[in-house]
DNA sequence: GTAAAAGCTCAACCTTGGTTGAGGTCAACG
DNA sequence: CGTTGACCTCAACCAAGGTTGAGCTTTTAC
């Protein structure tokens, strides 16, 4: 860390600096703070100051969003990070591992849908009684009590 | 088709019947009609009447939604269906084939993200300079002019 | 020392995909 | 013929994830 970087670390980043370095709009940073996703303190003139850690936090938030995790869930996960010390690699890895499961599930759901869709392109999608798309696998597997798209195959 | 089914076909389904047979709320059917996704005519008392075709249309809409296609795009695609005759299996298959491409792309994006995330769980996600999650592959591949998450790897 | 740039708060607005409710009409059953 | 239940329209509301703008203060640069 250079001397000027040490000063930076003590004074903190301004909201504009964080926006530029993270690629996130200032309004989004305000929004994230209001939603409890990030934190800041204020300087004498009521301007926000951020610690260096906020950059990694924002990176994690954006990755989780890409994985399809809603902000509220991300906020919950971030609250499980240690408050006393700066989170380390292991802490971040724990969050990632949790989200990987959700991501796996989403990929599997979409992959199943794609396979069914592929089959139906060949068979005249949605026109045959046996079409799996008409009766989503999940609802069927759950015992048929789910909200079936069509109550009887003869409907179409 | 039984005799009563023939009468049904002439008179059309009521909105309540379509809701029950399709598993979609009445308010949603009104909404879909307002958005140009489905059509109806009116009986003497200004009540909506639907042709049997609407059921397949709704099935297709819901499948496309599951694939992540926004309603506006679905509406566009549905407008390419023949207006003169009842769409046949080939017509529906064409739409499905188009959406399959989008679905493929979404699956690939998520799969790449998962693989990167997996790597980072092992490596101490987001803490190392080489972490691919910090600099999404797409932006990099596009020539680096995209909105990079962090301008310099040394930021974190 | 002054002007521009950056920051502040708070409320309003945006899109997507619908749901809810008020106030009124239509239809079907007994 | 009356009373339910189904239907109508239109406007308001919801959640998520932000963006925009007005009006005011602070900081920075010349």
CATH of the domain at A37: 1.10.1660.10
Count how many domains chain B has: 2
A21 plus A52 within the same structural domain? yes
Please check whether residue A82 lies inside any domain of the structure: no
Residue B79 located in a structural domain: no
Could you tell me the distance in Å between the CA of residue A78 and the C1' of nucleotide D27?
33
Last residue of a domain, one of A42, A69, A96: A69
Does residue A152 surpass a pLDDT of 60? no
Residues B56, B58, B60, CA angle at the centre, nearest 5°?
A: 70
CA of B28: nearest nucleotide by C1' is C18
**B83 found inside a domain:** no
Nearest C-alpha of chain A: how many angstroms from B46?
Answer: 25
Instruction: Pick A55's closest partner by Cβ from B99, B121, B150.
Output: B150
User: Is A35 inside any structural domain?
Assistant: yes
**Selection from A75, A73, A61, A66 nearest residue A24 by Cα:** A61
The reply to whether B58 and B7 lie within a common domain is: yes
Residue A154 in domain = no
The verdict on A10 and A55 lying in the same domain is yes
- Average pLDDT of the segment spanning A99-105: 91
- Is residue A111 a part of any domain in this protein? yes
Are residues A54 and A40 in contact, defined by beta-carbon separation less than 8 angstroms?
A: yes
CA pair distance B66, A113, nearest whole angstrom: 8
The pLDDT value given to residue A139: 32
Tell me the pLDDT tens digit for each residue of A63-79. Answer: 999 999 999 999 999 99
E strands in B10-138: 41-42, 48-49
Whether the CB-CB separation of B76 and B111 falls below 8 Å is answered with: no
Q: What tens digit of pLDDT does each residue of A19-63 get?
A: 999 999 999 999 999 999 999 999 999 999 999 999 999 999 999
Range of the domain at B10: 1-69
Identify the pLDDT of residue A122.
55
Identify the domain boundary among A69, A103, A124. Answer: A69
Domain identity same for B3 and B64: yes
- Taking a C-beta distance cutoff of 8 angstroms, is the pair B38, B29 a contact? yes
- In our burial notation (b when 16+ CB lie closer than 10 A, e otherwise), range B119-153 reads ebbeebbbbeeebbbbbbeeeeeeeeeeebbbeee
Residues B2 and B52 in one domain: yes
With contact defined as beta carbons under 8 Å apart, do A64 and A74 qualify? yes
Which candidate, B26, B53, B23, B19, places its Cα nearest to that of B38? B53
Together in a domain, A63 and A123:
no
B42, B104: one domain: no
Chain B nearest CA to A33, separation (Å)? 18
Q: Is residue B108 part of a domain?
A: yes
User: Do residues A105 and A42 both lie within one domain?
Assistant: no
The last residue of a domain, from among A69, A101, A125: A69
Report, as ranges of residue numbers, the positions in chain B whose pLDDT lies below 70: 1-10, 120-156
Q: Do B127 and A68 touch (CB under 8 A)?
A: no
In this complex, the answer to whether residue A43 has its CB under 7 A from any atom of chain D, a nucleic strand, is yes
- Average pLDDT value for chain B: 78
Contact, B71 CB vs strand D, < 7 Å:
no
Q: Are residues B1 and B64 in the same domain?
A: yes
Helix, strand and coil content of chain A, in percent to the nearest 5, comes to 60, 5, 35
A61 and A101 part of one domain: no
Question: Is A76 within a domain?
Answer: no
Q: Are A136 and A110 in contact (CB under 8 A)?
A: no
pLDDT at A8: 62
């Amino acid at each position: 860390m250079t001397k000027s970087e040490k000063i930076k670390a003590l004074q903190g980043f301004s909201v504009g600096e964080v926006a530029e370095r993270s690629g996130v709009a200032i309004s989004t940073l305000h929004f994230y703070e209001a939603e409890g996703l990030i934190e800041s303190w204020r300087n004498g003139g009521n301007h926000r100051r951020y610690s260096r850690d906020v950059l990694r936090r924002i990176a994690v938030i954006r990755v989780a969003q890409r994985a399809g995790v809603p902000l509220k869930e991300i906020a919950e996960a971030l609250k499980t990070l240690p408050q006393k010390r700066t989170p380390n690699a292991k802490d971040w890895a724990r969050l990632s591992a949790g989200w990987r499961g959700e991501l796996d599930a989403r990929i599997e759901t979409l992959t199943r849908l794609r396979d069914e869709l592929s089959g139906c392109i060949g068979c005249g999608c949605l026109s045959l009684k046996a079409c799996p798309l008409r009766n989503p696998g999940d609802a069927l597997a759950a015992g048929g009590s789910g909200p079936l798209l069509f109550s009887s195959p003869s409907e179409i």
